[in-house]
Structure 1
Amino acid sequence: MPSGYVALVLHAHLPYVRHPEEEYSLAEKWYHEAVTETYIPLIQMVHRLLEDRVPIRLTVSLSPPLASMMADDFIQKRYLRYLERLRELAAKEVWRTKDDPRFHLVARMYQKKFEEIYRLYNYYRGNLIKAFQELQGEGALELITCAATHGYLPLIGLHREVVRAQVEVAVHNHFRLFGQPPAGLWLPECGYNPGDDAILKKYNIKYFFLDAHGILYATPRPRYSIFAPVVTPSGVAAFGRDLESSEQVWSAQEGYPGDFDYREFYRDIGYDLDFEYIKPYIHPSGLRVDTGLKYYRITGKTELKEPYVPEWASEKAKIHAGNFLFNREHQIKYLATYMDRPPIIVCPYDAELFGHWWFEGPQWLESLFRQVASLAHQPFIFITPSDYLERFPINQPAMPCMSSWGNNGYNEVWLDGSNDWIYRHLHNAAEAMINLANLFVAPRDELTRRALNQAARELLLAQSSDWAFIMKTGTMVDYAIGRTKKHLLNFWKLKEKIEQESIDKEWLQELEETDNIFPDLNYRVFASEGV
């Protein structure tokens, strides 16, 4: 039996952003950047490890909005156009920097990177769902889901029907896209409300994750702290986030991503280069935005940045992977002296940290798997929560406390003076949707059924935790407010038209084509149990 286990968990999520009415959407750029800098590099990393027969076991939570965007033909084509512009820009940069060796090497690095991404994207014909499905079939990944639109369940779940709908739609969507049900579910923002686990159990979810204090303050207190799961009264296992490994990777000040040799995120040629040169690759209005081509390293706490040296950064990624390995080995050795079973170190991170915010993150991950595999004596085994529960099916019963991650750990980020106004509107709309679902046990005609389904979609989209988060952080606030109001107004207008039996067929079709998430959604998912 191994001394211990490490569960690496990547939560991949973006809000559902789809704007066919705009030729260029800043919000859609979130998806384009994440595909280029995180999702495809992670797929490439797993491919390389499998080709070299390096053992890899990784848990990846693909949220329903993100998975739906990956599967959407319109979004796939838009991303391809974005990627083609990047390839063109990289080729121009190789030419522009040919006489400056400091930057020419980096320009060639980007050109090679974008060409490899282009080949992989075309290999899967634009559908990255197939890539993740294939890697799960290889045994490298365990794919799990999240709530339907990443709704923050402790605050939107005033009505139990809302939590049930968020979970049921997510599980159904995951099965539709990946061909098998998810064993686990990532609670959005790790937001847990005691009792929600009973709904997870109903949909055969075996486990979820909490921030450390959600487990540490469970009732009764857990014997093994956060180094073994607890089992809630409903029978679902809750795994706690390890604090030490989180700090080493998350923190830009104390953690690995802040190393001075790593690429500087906040210095991009979209702002640095001559306007006429860069104009075709920024916003058509002339607004300067990131292009993804960045030539400087962090250097230090200074505005005077030094050129990025890929070789130095790659070497640091290997060193930091070795440091993480060393720390986990000694952490497990220490814990093993106090436990009668091997400890599990749960290391959950936002996937977008790896590649997007921390450019060298995928290199770090790959090096970690390779270094562990190269050791004659394995200090620990990489495992998924499902693997652990198969090995240790008996775990301590306990009720975790209400908790979240984020500032102060108790809902504060999503219930703030900047965003608290949204909840009364979400609750009112939820109550109205529940009443509609209960009233229309069978719709009077096909048009009414479509309108009811679209009303459910609009409510789900309004419930996304991303809008409250953006309002709190102060980035693109107008967009977040606009999305919240738009979906709620669409919902109330649909409700009115349904009740008046005066549904505008053309307007409904426009909504269905724009807000087209969950194509097989049944509005009855919001019906009260027993109705």
Structure 2
Amino acid sequence: MTREGTFCLVLHSHLPWLPHHGSWPVGEEWLYQAWAHSYLPVVDLVRRFAAEGKRDVLTLGVTPVLAAQLDDPYALRAFHEWLGHWQLRTVQAGTLWRSDPLLRELGAHEYRAATRALEDFETQWRHGFSPLLRSLVDSGVLELLGGPYAHPFQPLLDERIRSFFLRGGLADTALRTGHRPEGIWAPECGYAPGMEAGYAAAGVRRFLVDGPSLHGDTAFARPVGASDVLSFGRDLEVTYRVWSPRAGYPGHAHYRDFHTWAHEVGLKPSRVTGKQVEPSDKAPYEPALAADTVRTHVKDFVETVVSRLRSLREQHGREAMVVAAYDTELFGHWWHEGPAWLEGVLRALPEAGVRVTTLRGAVDAGLVGPAVELPASSWGSGKDWRVWDGEQVADMVADNAALQERLLALPRSGARDKVADWAVGEAMMSLSSDWAFMVTKNSAADYARRRAAVHTSRFDELAGWVGRGPLPAPVERWARQDNPFGRLDARDL
């Protein structure tokens, strides 16, 4: 069979630190929904590929702050309880919906899903995510991407803080998995000219940017400037087939509607039906109908990839690649049918003559082009920095700049000081890119502003205690809860 070209799937797994910071709708509930509906099924899929002896199937990014949550003893216990409650809610749904055949079958479908998730967690996840992730990296089924500690928008960081967060994040991943990543998904694909020098110094050899940063020429990895650090661009012509700001497969009428709840049981009983249809008028979700649509969309995506690769080969005169990159949470959490679609695509592409591999595998295959000078950029609206540095968040940007000045002035002595370490951890949480994103996009903006303010306030309180002796018990309690990185050492800043 003639090979059409190379396809690289890149998944970016990230949530901000959520334990002990509220429950519904964007606190711990957010974490547990993503865990149950995305992380469990995606990891199960990759485990099955590994068991089949497959290698270099996909590139998986896991941010240190997410890995810390999926290893955290409190979060593990609470998620176990959440899964049990999910199963109980499905039993209740079966009782309430027994007079409606479609809803009754949906309740049974949901019960089976909850039971599988509970069994998977109890047999595979009870010691946290890191042992699982390490086994998958060891098997060679995936390439692991890392990143800075808590997903900051790096272009807006002081270079010293940026370096500290990145080096610490990579070291944390190495501690959890036994592998120090050579590649990263730069948070928000944020880039400022010259950042490649910091990447090279930290041992990063490849990173993601959005397609427009390369003027849409994403057919090959490109060295950045005079460095040997490679940039990979998302192919938006293919990526947006699945998920774009305006359209994509998850909005199909047959798929489960993310936004419509049966609040009496806490389940989602409806399909999308239509974009202008009121929640009360949406049709019941039918798993078999959705499964048929998944098969259609798998076929469509494979045809899109093959067509794109043929076009790129004709344009460049040699084999090219397509990089399709998404948030992991799209698959299952936001798009219920996403994991099934993902498996279908990864199995169908090789049958269509497409090499499926990792970013590392693409480099090994020689899919590298000439050097490029990248502009200041991101994956966000306008492909510039406006989401994280725009008018709506100007006050947060100013607060973060002032926080960084105080962070660099934090007292440090020759001996390690846990209070100073915890203070740095609070600053790190405050500088997460998630808060500005949520404010700009008006998605739980009040929660985001509150979180940024809480962590800044806690940094200032802890900074005042550095070198002054034991902390008051209440302060020490929240300081420990907010700082999952035991290796973080303020003296390294």
Q: TM-score w.r.t. structure 1 length? A: 0.87
- Indicate the SS of the match to 2:316: coil
On the 8 A contact 1:49/1:366 being kept in 2, the answer is no
On the 8 A contact 1:136/1:142 being kept in 2, the answer is yes
Q: Which amino acid letter does the alignment assign opposite residue 368 of structure 1? A: V
Does the alignment pair 1:63 with 2:31?
Answer: no
The CA deviation at 1:507 is: 5.0
1:184-333 superposed matches below 5 A: 184-216=183-215, 225-232=217-224, 233-251=226-244, 253-270=246-263, 273=264, 278=265, 291=266, 293-301=267-275, 302-303=277-278, 304-333=281-310
Equivalent residue, structure 1, for 2:346: 369
Does the alignment pair 1:496 with 2:464?
Answer: yes
Q: How many residues align?
A: 487
- Indicate the SS of the match to 1:227: coil
Equivalent residue, structure 1, for 2:18: 17
Equivalent residue, structure 2, for 1:520: 487
On the 8 A contact 1:249/1:257 being kept in 2, the answer is yes
The CA deviation at 1:56 is: 6.5
Equivalent residue, structure 2, for 1:433: 407
Going from structure 1 to structure 2, the CA distance change for 1:475 and 1:254 (only over 3 Å counts) comes to: closer
The CA deviation at 1:143 is: 1.5
- Indicate the SS of the match to 1:421: helix
Going from structure 1 to structure 2, the CA distance change for 1:332 and 1:50 (only over 3 Å counts) comes to: same
Q: Which amino acid letter does the alignment assign opposite residue 326 of structure 2? A: Y
On the 8 A contact 2:16/2:432 being kept in 1, the answer is yes
Equivalent residue, structure 1, for 2:176: 177
The CA deviation at 1:196 is: 1.2
- Indicate the SS of the match to 2:463: helix
The CA deviation at 1:163 is: 1.0
- Indicate the SS of the match to 1:331: helix
On the 8 A contact 2:261/2:268 being kept in 1, the answer is yes
Q: Percent identity?
A: 26
Equivalent residue, structure 1, for 2:97: 97
**Whole-angstrom CA distance in 2 between matches of 1:24 and 1:314:** 30
The CA deviation at 1:479 is: 2.0
On the 8 A contact 2:320/2:367 being kept in 1, the answer is no
The CA deviation at 1:135 is: 2.2
- The C-alpha deviation readout for 1:380-406, integer Å capped at 9, x for no partner, is 111111111222286412221110112
Equivalent residue, structure 2, for 1:130: 131
Q: Which amino acid letter does the alignment assign opposite residue 10 of structure 2? A: V
1:440-459 superposed matches below 5 A: 440-443=412-415, 449-459=417-427
The CA deviation at 1:415 is: 2.0
Q: Which amino acid letter does the alignment assign opposite residue 442 of structure 1? A: G
Equivalent residue, structure 2, for 1:288: none
On the 8 A contact 1:149/1:461 being kept in 2, the answer is yes
1:63-82 superposed matches below 5 A: 63-82=63-82
Equivalent residue, structure 2, for 1:423: 397
On the 8 A contact 2:220/2:368 being kept in 1, the answer is no
Going from structure 1 to structure 2, the CA distance change for 1:514 and 1:55 (only over 3 Å counts) comes to: closer
- The C-alpha deviation readout for 1:210-237, integer Å capped at 9, x for no partner, is 11111228xxxxxxx2110110123210
Q: Which moved more, 1:53-62 or 1:397-406?
A: 53-62
**Whole-angstrom CA distance in 1 between matches of 2:251 and 2:476:** 48
Equivalent residue, structure 2, for 1:283: none
Q: Which amino acid letter does the alignment assign opposite residue 207 of structure 1? A: R
Q: Which runs of 5+ in 1 are unaligned?
A: 218-224, 279-290, 527-531
Equivalent residue, structure 2, for 1:399: 373
